[in-house]
Amino acid sequence: QKEVEQDPGPLSVPEGAIVSLNCTYSNSAFQYFMWYRQYSRKGPELLMYTYSSGNKEDGRFTAQVDKSSKYISLFIRDSQPSDSATYLCAMRNNNAGNMLTFGGGTRLMVKP
Amino acid sequence: SAVISQKPSRDICQRGTSLTIQCQVDSQVTMMFWYRQQPGQSLTLIATANQGSEATYESGFVIDKFPISRPNLTFSTLTVSNLSPEDSSIYLCSALPEALHFGNGTRLTVT
């Protein structure tokens, strides 16, 4: 079983829809949770970075962490065709170095 | 956050040759990290590079195949040796203090 599980998709939604992307994890020592967006032929771009359980909002993006359920989510409101990309969740346990453990990524397609 | 630059951005190499990838950070950093992203896959940590000491490799990655240099606090190289088609991937580096940001990576295709 992978430490971080993420539905690979593809997830196809119409423009303007609310998108929900999710990851589950098994290691309760993970303390930091990140979401990255990766366009084709580009490196991952950090979107959101959270430390504790709860919600964090940045524009159209909301990151949600539920440590008790070992579950994190990224919500995208009013999705745009430019949001079409692969979204990767990542986690870090600072007590075990600074490496990031990634989910497999979810490919999102927003259709105009 | 540190700005990370990698060279080359892409390369096509023949089987059996080697490719050295450079990672430059715009500020001094203690640790640098090398990741591999195979086609359609997520990122996997290859090794952690500290200045002045041997790199620390993750399970499944060995120094003979992926030698790393870390000559100073802003620069590191990763060499992928004895290339085979299975090495075709994107190779990315990141760096402390946050180790959260990546450059655009190096896209390697082995023919």
**What's the CA dihedral at B69, B74, B80, B81 to 10 degrees?**
-30
Reported confidence tier of residue A84, pLDDT bands at 50, 70, 90: very high
Q: Consecutive sets of 10 residues in chain B, 111 residues long: mean pLDDT of each?
A: 88 98 92 91 90 88 96 94 97 82 91 96
Q: Report the residue of B5, B43, B61, B108 to disrupt the A interface, i.e. the one with the largest count of A CBs within 10 Å.
A: B43
**What mean pLDDT do residues A84-88 have?**
96
Task: Please answer yes or no on whether A100 and B99 come within 8 Å at the CB atom.
Answer: yes
| pLDDT given at position B1 | 65
Does residue A95 carry a pLDDT above 90? no
Counting every residue written for chain A, the total comes to: 112
Interface of A with B (CB under 8 A): 6, 34, 41-44, 46, 49, 88, 90, 92, 97-100, 102-105
pLDDT at A47: 94
The DSSP result for chain A, as a single string, is --SEEE----EEEETT--EEEEEEE--TT--EEEEEEE-TTS--EEEEEE-SSEEEEETTEEEEEETTTTEEEEEESS--GGG-EEEEEEEE-TBTBS--EE---EEEEEE-
Nearest Cα residue to B81 out of B92, B68, B65? B65
Identify all chain B residues contacting A41, using CB atoms and an 8 Å cutoff.
107
CB distance A105–B42 less than 8 Å?
yes
pLDDT tens for residues A17-37?
999 999 999 999 998 999 999
Report yes or no: A50 and A36 within 8 Å, Cβ to Cβ: no
Q: Which residues of A touch B11 (CB under 8 A)?
A: none
Answer whether A102 sits within 8 Å of B102, measured CB to CB: no
